[in-house]
Chains A and B, each alone.
Chain A
Amino acid sequence: MRGPSTFLKVMGLVGFIFLYAPIISLVVYSFNESKLVTVWGGFSTKWYVELFRDPQILEAAWVSLKIAFISATLAIIIGTVASFVLIRFKKFRSKALLSMMITAPLVMPEVIIGLSLLLLFVAMENLIGWPSGRGMLTIIIAHATFGSAYAAVVIQSRLVDMDLSIEEAALDLGAKPLRVFFDITLPIIAPALMSGWLLSFTLSLDDLVIASFVSGPGASTLPMVIFSKVRLGVSPDVNALATIIIGIVSLGIIVAALQMNRGKKNG
C-alpha cells in the first residue's frame, strides 16, 4: 500500500500545529520567569508555587474536583440504566425518541443546556422548594445530565458488542438474573464504565458555560475562577494552572482509551 501523498502529509502537519501550538506555547510559558506573558525571561517554577499559595484557586479546584467526582459517578449510573433500556429491552414505541433525547446533550449548544437547566431549577424551587438556591448541588445535577449522555454512548457501544449468550450461559448454569449482572455483565462492561466515568469527569472539570449558568454564590469552579482572572489580564499563574489541567485531562483521556482497548481484547 502506498503511503499518504506529500500534500496530505503537509496538510496533516499544518493541522496539528494549528491544534497544538497554542497548547505547547501555554505549557512553555507557564515555566517563564518573567511576569510578562509574551516575553521569555528564563526557566522557573515560581508560578506553580504561587498558584498553590492562592486560596481562591485552591478552593475552586477542590470544588471542581468534588463536582466532577460526584457528577461522573451519577452520570455512569444514569448512563448504564439508559443503555440497558435502549439496548436490552424489546422494541418499545418511544425507543427512538428516548435514544435521541439521551444523546441530545452531545449536540445541543451549551448555552441552551445551561439556560434551560437554570430555568428548570428556578421553576422547581418555586414549585417544590428544591433545590433551594443554586450552588454545588445544581452544578452536580447539570453535569450529571450531560455527562450521562457521553457515558450512555460509550456503554451502549460496549453492550451492543457483548454476546447475549454469555449472560444466558450464566443463567443456564444456575445464576439468578441479579447475580448474572454482577458476576458477568458488570465485569465485562467495566472498561466502558471506567472510560465513561473518566470522560464525564474531565468534561465536568472542563465546563465553564453550563456551570456559570447554574452556579450560585460560594460555588465557583476552577474554570469560572480562571475566566474571571483572565478578564483582568492574563497572568502567568493561569498558564501554570492550565498546564496542570491539561495534564490531568490528557491522563484521563489516555487511561480511558487504554481501558476501551483492553475491554475490546477481553470481550
Chain B
Amino acid sequence: MIKVSNLDFSYQNEKVVENINFSIKEGKSLAIIGPSGCGKSTLIYLLAGLLKPDEGVIKINGNIINNIRKKTGVILQNYGLFPWKTVFDNVALGLKVRDYDKNKIDDMVKNALEKMGISELHNKFPAELSGGQNQRVAIARSLVLNPDLLLMDEPFSALDALTREEMQNLILKIHKENNLSYLIVTHNIDEAVFLGQEIAVMKEGKFIHMIDNPYFGDIKLREKEEFFELCKELRVMMSEDDLL
C-alpha cells in the first residue's frame, strides 16, 4: 500500500524528519507515537502530499507521491474544519471540488453523517459543536471521499477518555468493514496499542523502535492482560530513550 524510504524534511534549516523508512501493507495499520515537536504532523503532511520531501521517496500503490492523492483521507490535528462552513458544507467540500452533481453530493453527505450518528447537526457550525461531534464531522469529511488510506494526526487528543474510546472503536470498526489502511499519530500509549497493528516510536524526527502488535483488532483488547503488558513494554521503551 504505502512504502516510505529514506525520508528527509527540513523547515528552513531545522531538520524535522530524518531518514524514515516504513511500509504499511494493504488493509493494515500503523500507529506512530512520540512526544510533541518530534515531527509527527510534518510526517503526516509529507505522506498526504501537502509538503514535498527534501530526500527520499513515498510510494503509494507503486506511485511516487509529490502532490495530494485523491484516495488518501487526511484528518488534521485540529480537525481541519472550516468555521465558516456548516457541518454539511464541510463534509461536502471535497465532493464539490470533484464536481459531483448536487443530488449525489446530498446523498453521499447525508449517508456519511448518518454513519457517524450526527445527521441532526448538518446545519450547525463547528463552533456550536462539542469536541467529539467535531471529530465525527472530520471523520465524515474524510470517509465521504471513500479513501483507501486514512492519515490521522492526533485525532482524539482533545477528547475525554470515554469519547476517545468510543471514537477508537469506531475507527477499528470502519477499518474492519472497509479493509481501510490507516496511519494514526498519537502521543497516547493506550491509543497506539489499541489502534496500531504496528507501532513506531518516533523521536526527534526518527523512528527509534518499530514493534509488532499481535493483539491488534480485538475490540475488547483494553480489558485484557496482554494490552497492559504491551502498554508497559512501550512505556519502558519510550522512557529508556529519555535516559540516553
Q: Do A and B form a real pair?
A: no
